[in-house]
Chain A
Amino acid sequence: MSTIIEPEQDLEARTAAFVEHVQSGGQVEADDWMPEEYRTLAIKFIEMHANSEMMGALPEREWIARAPSLRRKMSLTAKVQDEVGHGHMIYRVAEDLGKSRVDMLTDLMNGRTKFHNVFHYPTKSWGDVAVIGSLVDGAAIITQTALLTTSLAPYARVMKRVCAEESFHQRHGEDLLLELASGTPAQREMLQEAVDRWWVPIMHFFGPKTPAEKDRLLHWRIKTELNETLRQRFFDRYVPKLWDLGISIPDEALAYDAASDSWTWTEPSWDELREVASGNGPMTATRLSWRIWMSDANAWARELMDLPRLDLTHPTPRTAA
């Protein structure tokens, strides 16, 4: 990066060179020069991603104790552990851009920053665990895979590990989906009810159709693909799988058009997304209160880590008894 943008260039020229660099596929490191708008947008985007990993662990955590077998409990526990790990790895990326992890966690708990809409909703049945594992994680993999070529190199590096682990989550989810679809009428009904309830939040997850020229994250290539491109990819991959299992999708207009190689679908109300994402979802307050409780409960560990190190090279002599 530093080889193509000379320090003596004025701000406008440096910014133009930066834009050309990232738009042509170049990447930047956290300590490279970057325009303030890039830094601000990257911190906000990555912070929300990390928040979502942390908060995304909670809906499934609720089901560890209720999972129907020991192996399912272990799978969910492993997944929750992965998600929290992802959160901390991603917070470190944002931290290197200038906002401390403590500040990000404090802002999350105080409701000053956002997390993905899908984690503001309740999980009412084991069918929800299957839908989160297959469809919500499937949507997440599609968006996260697109970040492997983001212009911020440390973010791209972290996403390699995140995507590898997410593939286990998604596969576990599909395993659950197939099991319920092969099961009793009650199990199939539970799965169908969960798909019906989660469909709109998943459509919201990708965000509204936004023209490329209005998407500043795309301009800086922090994001690499349009919301609608990612949503269409999700339809390609998951709608046929659900149809093959005899699971319907609560959108009468959803259809694949071979001529245009694209899906038509019904846009949901975006008011609900705005309301939920701004902290007024059905489970927002409850889940944030858990996060605060966990933070308080673990405060002793952080305090311990902050203590000055013991000087072990000069141990205190024991007093003779």
Chain B
Amino acid sequence: MTRYPVLQRRREDSDWETVGVVHAPDREMALGFALHSFFRHGEGVHCAIDDDGEIVTVTDPADVVAHTDKSYRVSAGYPLGPKRRRAEQRVAELGVRIDKPRPGVDNRRDRSRDEQSDRSEG
């Protein structure tokens, strides 16, 4: 585990200040821990970690509040429509689709429901 000091700017015009430390196996995890540990309640608008002298900032201020995004634990967090279309495109390029008889109506209904769900998720 590596030790990463965590820095924040409270407002756009604030100076950077050290707010604590996280221990993490890599930079990505360190930023995640930092957001979870120090920015849960909107304490700042910019977050950074000190990676052995290199300051790594969360470049998009919106990411600073992204730690409150729990979409990874609900169905709506996985809009499948775009991924399905990408997969179909890839399968078409490879020409590997298996075209055997299947219960068409049920399958279409199932897919239609997924796609409606994807659209409603935006």
A and B bind: yes
Minimum CB–CB distance for A189 against chain B, Å: 12
Q: Which of A235-243, A283-291, A306-314 contacts B (4 or more CB under 8 A)?
A: A235-243
Chain A residue nearest to B29 (CB atoms) is A70
Q: Which of B4-12, B14-22, B48-56, B78-86 contacts A (4 or more CB under 8 A)?
A: B78-86
The answer for the CA separation of A256 and B107 in the assembled complex, in Å, is 12
B13 interface residue, CB < 8 Å from A?
no
B40 interface residue, CB < 8 Å from A?
no
Contact status B83-A70, CB under 8 Å: no
Contact status B98-A70, CB under 8 Å: no
Minimum CB–CB distance for A85 against chain B, Å: 12
Interface string of A148-166 (1 = CB under 8 A from B): 0000000000000000000
The answer for the CA separation of A310 and B24 in the assembled complex, in Å, is 38
Contact status B98-A178, CB under 8 Å: no
The answer for the CA separation of A121 and B3 in the assembled complex, in Å, is 37
A78 interface residue, CB < 8 Å from B?
yes
Minimum CB–CB distance for B83 against chain A, Å: 4
A174 interface residue, CB < 8 Å from B?
yes
Contact status B32-A70, CB under 8 Å: yes
Contact status B86-A178, CB under 8 Å: yes
Write out the residue numbers on chain B whose beta carbons fall within 8 Å of the beta carbon of A261.
Answer: 103
A246 interface residue, CB < 8 Å from B?
yes
Grouping DSSP codes into helix (H, G, I), strand (E, B) and loop, the A interface class, with mixed when no group exceeds half, is helix
Write out the residue numbers on chain B whose beta carbons fall within 8 Å of the beta carbon of A239.
Answer: 102
A71 interface residue, CB < 8 Å from B?
yes
Q: Which of A245-272 contact B (CB under 8 A)?
A: 245-248, 255-258, 261
A21 interface residue, CB < 8 Å from B?
no
The answer for the CA separation of A257 and B73 in the assembled complex, in Å, is 38
Q: B86 touches which one: A82, A182, A256 (CB < 8 A)?
A: A182
The answer for the CA separation of A182 and B90 in the assembled complex, in Å, is 6
A145 interface residue, CB < 8 Å from B?
no
Please tell me the size bucket of the interface on A: 35 or more
Write out the residue numbers on chain B whose beta carbons fall within 8 Å of the beta carbon of A246.
Answer: 91, 94, 96-98
Interface string of B78-116 (1 = CB under 8 A from A): 101001101111110010111111110011001000000
Write out the residue numbers on chain A whose beta carbons fall within 8 Å of the beta carbon of B94.
Answer: 188, 246
Contact status B87-A245, CB under 8 Å: yes
A168 interface residue, CB < 8 Å from B?
yes
A139 interface residue, CB < 8 Å from B?
no
Most B CB contacts (10 A, CB to CB) among A82, A174, A243, A258 go to A243
Q: Given the known A-B contacts A237-B110, A256-B101, are A244 and B88 also in contact in the complex, defined by CB atoms under 8 Å?
A: yes
A171 interface residue, CB < 8 Å from B?
yes
Minimum CB–CB distance for A234 against chain B, Å: 12
Contact status B106-A78, CB under 8 Å: no
Contact status B98-A175, CB under 8 Å: no
Write out the residue numbers on chain B whose beta carbons fall within 8 Å of the beta carbon of A70.
Answer: 28-29, 32
Q: A181 touches which one: B90, B101, B107, B110 (CB < 8 A)?
A: B90
The answer for the CA separation of A70 and B67 in the assembled complex, in Å, is 12
The answer for the CA separation of A69 and B27 in the assembled complex, in Å, is 12
Write out the residue numbers on chain A whose beta carbons fall within 8 Å of the beta carbon of B32.
Answer: 70
Write out the residue numbers on chain A whose beta carbons fall within 8 Å of the beta carbon of B74.
Answer: 168
Contact status B28-A243, CB under 8 Å: no
Most B CB contacts (10 A, CB to CB) among A168, A179, A248, A258 go to A168
Contact status A255-B87, CB under 8 Å: no
B75 interface residue, CB < 8 Å from A?
yes
Taking Cβ atoms with an 8 Å cutoff, the residues of A that contact B are 69-71, 74-75, 78-79, 82, 167-168, 171-172, 174-175, 178-179, 181-183, 188, 236-237, 239-240, 242-248, 255-258, 261
A-B contacts besides A181-B87, A182-B87, A255-B100, 11 pairs, CB < 8 Å: A70-B32, A168-B77, A168-B78, A178-B86, A182-B83, A182-B86, A182-B89, A244-B98, A245-B87, A256-B100, A258-B101
Q: List 27 A-B contacts (CB under 8 A).
A: A74-B72, A78-B72, A78-B73, A79-B73, A82-B73, A168-B73, A168-B78, A171-B80, A172-B77, A172-B78, A175-B83, A178-B87, A182-B83, A182-B86, A182-B87, A236-B103, A236-B107, A240-B107, A243-B99, A243-B100, A245-B97, A246-B97, A246-B98, A255-B100, A255-B101, A256-B103, A258-B103
